[in-house]
A and B are shown apart, each in its own frame.
Chain A
Amino acid sequence: MSEGIKRRDFLKVLGVSGAGAGLVGCSTDQVEKLIPYVTPPEEITPGVATWYSTVCGECPAACGVWVRTREGRAVKVEGNPHHPVSGGALCARGHASLQGLYNPDRLEGPVRRGEDGEFQPIAWDEAEALLSQHVQDAGSDFVFVTRKEGPALAGLIESVVESVGGSRVEYEALSEAPLREATRMAFGQDAVPTFRFEEADLIFSFGADFLETWLSPVEHARGFARSTGIDEAHEKARFVFLSPRLSLTGQNADEWVPLTAGSEGVVALAIAHALVQRGADGGPYSDLIEAYDAQAAANEAGIPAETIEELADAFQAASAPLAVGPGVAGQGANATATNLAVLILNAVAGSVGSTLHVTRSDLAAPATPYRELADVISRMAEGQVPAMVLHNVNPAYSLPPESGFRQALGQVGFSVAITPHLDETAALCDLVLPDAHTLESWGDSNPRPELWALRQPVMQPVPHFDSRSAGDVLVRLAGRLGEDLGAETFHDYLRNRWSDLHAELGSPGGSFDAFWREALRVGVVEVDAAPAQATAMQTPDRALTFDAPELEGDGMALVVYPSSRFGDGRGANKPWLQELPDPVTKLAWHSWVEIHPETAEELGVRRGDMVRVASPHGELEVPVYTYPGIRADTVAIAMGEGHENYGRYANGNGVNPMVLLPATVEEPSGTLAHLSVRVNLEPTGRRYSMASIEGSDQQYDRPIAPAVQLEELREGNIEEAGGYPTRQELQAIGGFVPITTEAEPQDFPLEGARYGDYEDSGSTPRWAMAIDLDKCTGCSACVTACQSENNVAFVGKDQLAMGRALQWIRLERYYEQIDSSQPGPVDIRFLPMLCQHCGNAPCEPVCPVYAAYHTPDGLNAQVYNRCVGTRYCANNCPYKVRVFNWYRFSEVPEPLNWQYNPDVTVRTEGIMEKCSFCVQRIRKSENQATLEGRTIGSNEVVPACQQSCPAEAIVFGNIRDPESRVYQVSNNDRTYRVLDVLINTQPAINYLRKVTFHPVESIHV
């Protein structure tokens, strides 16, 4: 069927060690090669997946993951259920790490800048010799810049740098330094607190995007969903978001306090003040708190004073309140102070020790903030840095140009970049060493004191690229520098460190080899958690100003926030992430500036108009996205896009907001202040064709994503509260009578259809799904998970702008209540829309060739190879979940195609496709069950979306079995089926209504 990548091409690569690699993608007319192993790796069976546990390297949260490999190739990344951070879930960026591994823009080998200024290939040994030579010569002036790495690699770097007496700078564009500094000041601990969202019953977020980028999103999302999701006892935590802009996290809030940018600190203190007035203990900060009364804070924040009082009442009333923030976007010149203020609020409310824990931190040395890099830059500029290594960092992109990094790098005698692929920084270096991808290299992580995890290579290095892991390079470098590490490879070095750790931990699990193997198998080692310490606050060791910072320039405050898809921009060259519609704006492949509709009106611009955004430090042109979730006096731009030299999928997409920012150092934490300028917008008169999947953000009273107020739910009258009256029709005799529908999703097929294969289909499973909209956070991880599992192609900006996105899951987002003018309830409904596998599927009878039909086990099947492409089914699908292959989107450059899942057909042009309920997983489980001589279990099959969902909102199984989880979850007052009351499609997907605290105006359809 597919002329492009054939599933069985994977067999060809069986012996990657051997000749196989070159043969991938050879076209079908040739006789296909079968490449067996020379010696078989015992754990690999062709056609059967092998799983390896490792650590995700996409962000510092370091989730534990399992990687599924087939015939020696990684094809899917999934959360490691044993790992407390990921808890079995994974975010979109984690899934997309595969496209980093197989990225066609990875360096094919080490390159050195020649006389002509162009990069020339160079042999590895030569390159390493060159490196050690320069490091040697540089001696104490040698600088090693790295990002936050695992303990082992960090330690190795440390010792290498020390061996020549040089200096090491650890740089993270998204720095939690202010939080860390505030914690140090408040509790005398150089640590990042852990936040237990799961245990909170009231959550205040002062702009912390803890569901997207802040610290450990997946872990937070799980806890958040568990606490704010309604439970059997009809209890749910409440979430208030205090920030000038609603991030995705904010969109999940029950209430929004749209305060002015930077005023989070004073508001937090004012709430604390109000609490103290209500009898709480201000502790050492009592005097400080005294200074901040509600009215003053309210004035500064541009909100009514009552709001602060109400918030204080709520916070006091709550049994386990929790306040977090601010996020990176809120890091102004007073970032540390604001963090401190929020910690004070927690302390005053007594949350410390319950929902917020400050523990002794064994983390590798903290990411030193921008200040130290700034010093290095000045030294570089003065030519005092003869040699430096930049490992997996991209300051040339992620720092404001004003920092002068680019120019300074030019003054460095010999600059070396160790990175898997060329980026803006590497492009300026003299020598570039291709680093192995994290999925190809060894390493470890220690995200929490009590948590250790190993990173192991899940496959042979991708043969297209002659890469070496930084660890190995550094071990050899140390050797050349005369440092004796007692290790030939980084693997040995890691083992040594871990054997020390093993001894340190008192030799758990007997011999070290056993311990090591177990660590590799399970993927995580949990040691006795260090007791939570220092819940008592100390007096601050220095004075701080909590007031909102004075923003430079005039016009509207500019919020620069980390993208939930690209973080600081390192994910930008992964098509899946580019193609993933931003959870908030539903735009893909480009940048935008978010401005309030009223502001847009004043400016005389519409959504999609190009505007020139000018700050005192720079300007850029970007299309307007009118967003009701942002204050009228604020605009926001996401980081991550606007790359110039980062690969074919990133270059030229959108803009990099850093050009608008000054290189201001925040004191005392020394991080880069993101919130520091005001900007002016000026229409250019040009239009921009935005790549959006959003048709309308309104439900028009249709039975799509209803909600119910908590009180109503408790009283059990769900129909009145946003429910739908039973449909009635007028009949000749008897007047209005209810329309009869088969009520239960397990009723399939109709009696009349029980023939042939369908005779006993009353007893076969009917696969069904339940999605709890009260849990779904709209994070869109399921979208990418599905894309990765089901070989869903990406289409690119132009095609997506035409409305040809191929993703099988569309995360719909509807606005019910959203008002940026004053504090109040916010109600935004998320609806993961995928094929509903209707019992009465409108798409099936219209297909002329039976390409769409219903299987006896209740799947709405799409037979790709039978499809002729009339698109009638898509027209007739009321949910619009069928997508069409307009071109041969599946033909992607080598080796991206190595990621394709061998269990799923790769679709070629002219074919309709859609969610299959991961039928390949169902069949696999059936085959397994048959081999074991049993029937398939009701909860046995876990589709990719459910597996990935950090909020645990999705449940899949056989709904005919009353014991199945899907049946039990669906058996709920809140259960409804989208559009069912309107068109009686009898979907197999049961949604559970969102629950709100405020009244929901009834929807009558």
Chain B
Amino acid sequence: MKKPWYIAMVAALAALGSLAFLQGQTVDEDVDTSDAAQVNIGPEGQPIAFPHNRHAGDLQLDCQFCHFSAERSSSAGIPPVATCMGCHTFVAGTERQEEVAKLRGFWERGEAIPWNRIYKVSDHVSFPHMRHVSAGLECQECHGPVEEIGVIQEVQQPLTMGWCLNCHIEQGATRDCTACHY
């Protein structure tokens, strides 16, 4: 007789279920993504258009040459202006020399460079860089192919808990909550 209505009923239930699941797959709002994936500053966002691809890519500079504390501290470290000047006192840069000029300006004014922070996990998460570096993890695993990107303006990875967990499970690292949350 009139079957369609309850077929529709079952279909609706199925739809609801899958909806719930899909919702689950997406990032929850309580994961503080305002600090993570969402950060996207404009093209002129960084005070100096620092080309990672030039330094890390072409020049093959080691990441930790500038991010000096990654292997011994929970924070990777932002290079002091002095580090930049180490080279740029002599190197005026090939193209876009005006950016190097900016750098020197900061140096002469004795001013710190107000970089915009791109990579950041929520405040209730503590991420020890050194543990991951010493575990032999490549920087690119989390930071993406930095050596190919010019001015870093948005994160390459979700930086969400599930994303961290997947790696921890694959690597057999701890799943204990207080490894990151305390």
Contact = CB atoms under 8 A, between A and B. Distances in A.
Please determine if A and B sit in direct contact within the complex, based on CB atoms under 8 angstroms apart.
yes
Contacts of A923: 126, 128, 178-179, 182
A33 interface: yes
Contact of B74 (A20, A23, A853, A927): A927
Contacts of B176: 757, 855-856
Interface in A1-17: 1-2, 6-8, 11, 14-15, 17
A14 B81 CA distance: 13
A643 to B, nearest CB: 35
B124 A905 contact: yes
Contact of A38 (B73, B112, B114): B112
Nearest to B135: A930
Contacts of B78: 14, 34-36, 46
A904 B30 CA distance: 19
Contacts of A919: 178, 182
A510 B155 CA distance: 55
Band of interface residues on B: 35 or more
Closest 3 CB pairs of A and B: A47-B75, A18-B112, A47-B73
B112 A39 contact: no
A39 B79 CA distance: 9
B111 A19 contact: yes
Contacts of A40: 80, 82-83
Interface in B102-148: 106-107, 110-117, 120, 122-124, 126, 128-131, 134
B32 interface: yes
A46 B178 CA distance: 22
B84 to A, nearest CB: 9
Given A38-B81, A865-B124, A927-B74, A33 B69 contact: no
Interface in A133-157: none
6 contacts: A15-B112, A32-B117, A35-B112, A35-B114, A865-B181, A931-B130
B140 to A, nearest CB: 20
A972 interface: no
Contact of B117 (A15, A19, A34, A864): A34
Contacts of A850: 177
Contacts of B72: 45, 48, 931
Given A33-B115, A865-B122, A865-B181, A28 B80 contact: no
B162 interface: no
A856 B81 CA distance: 44
Given A31-B45, A45-B73, A38 B80 contact: yes
A602 interface: no
Interface string A821-838: 000000000000000000
Interface in B52-85: 69, 72-75, 77-83
A438 B16 CA distance: 65
B89 interface: no
A45 B68 CA distance: 9
Main secondary structure of the interface of A (DSSP, over half): loop
Interface string B170-182: 0000111111011
Nearest to A9: B123
B99 interface: no
A619 B45 CA distance: 65
Given A1-B123, A757-B175, 12 more contacts: A1-B124, A34-B117, A35-B113, A36-B80, A39-B81, A46-B77, A48-B73, A859-B178, A905-B124, A920-B126, A923-B179, A923-B182
B177 A34 contact: no
Contact of A855 (B45, B116, B123, B178): B178
B92 interface: no
Contacts of B130: 927, 931
A7 B80 contact: no
A432 to B, nearest CB: 31
B69 A48 contact: yes
A675 interface: no
B86 to A, nearest CB: 11
Contact of A904 (B39, B75, B129, B182): B182
B166 interface: no
Interface in A835-883: 850, 853, 855-856, 859, 861, 863-866
Contacts of B128: 923, 927
Interface string A913-934: 0001001100100010011000
Contacts of B18: none
B25 to A, nearest CB: 20
Contacts of A47: 69, 73-75, 77, 129
A601 interface: no
Contacts of A931: 72, 130, 134
Contacts of A15: 112
B182 A853 contact: no
A23 B112 CA distance: 13
A426 B69 CA distance: 46
Given A36-B80, A905-B182, A927-B128, A46 B177 contact: no
B178 A8 contact: no
Interface string B12-44: 000000000000000000101011000101000
A31 B177 contact: no
Interface residues of A, number: 52
A864 to B, nearest CB: 6
Given A18-B111, A927-B74, A903 B82 contact: no
Contacts of B177: 850, 853, 855, 861, 863, 866
Determine which residue in B111, B114, B116, B128 has the highest number of CB atoms from chain A within 10 A of its CB, and name it.
B114
A214 to B, nearest CB: 39
B178 A31 contact: no
A921 B8 CA distance: 58
A856 to B, nearest CB: 6
Determine which residue in B41, B111, B175, B178 has the highest number of CB atoms from chain A within 10 A of its CB, and name it.
B178
B123 A7 contact: yes
Interface in A107-166: none
Given A1-B122, A38-B80, A19 B112 contact: yes
B114 A29 contact: no
A814 interface: no
Contact of A46 (B73, B134, B175, B182): B73
Interface string A732-765: 0000000000000000000000001100000000
B171 to A, nearest CB: 14
A906 interface: yes
A28 B34 CA distance: 7
B102 to A, nearest CB: 14
A39 B73 contact: no
A857 to B, nearest CB: 8
Contact of B116 (A31, A37, A757): A31
B113 A36 contact: yes
B122 A31 contact: no
A38 B182 contact: no
A36 B79 contact: yes
B178 A863 contact: yes
A1 B122 CA distance: 7
A35 B79 CA distance: 10
Contact of A864 (B45, B174, B181): B181
Contact of A916 (B30, B112, B120, B182): B182
A903 B124 contact: no
Contacts of B112: 14-15, 17-20, 35-38
A18 B111 CA distance: 6
Contacts of B39: 31
A252 to B, nearest CB: 35
A28 B114 CA distance: 16
Contacts of A1: 32, 122-124
Interface in A30-60: 31-40, 45-48
B138 to A, nearest CB: 18
B38 to A, nearest CB: 10
A277 B42 CA distance: 93
A158 to B, nearest CB: 39
Interface in A925-956: 927, 930-931
Nearest to B131: A927
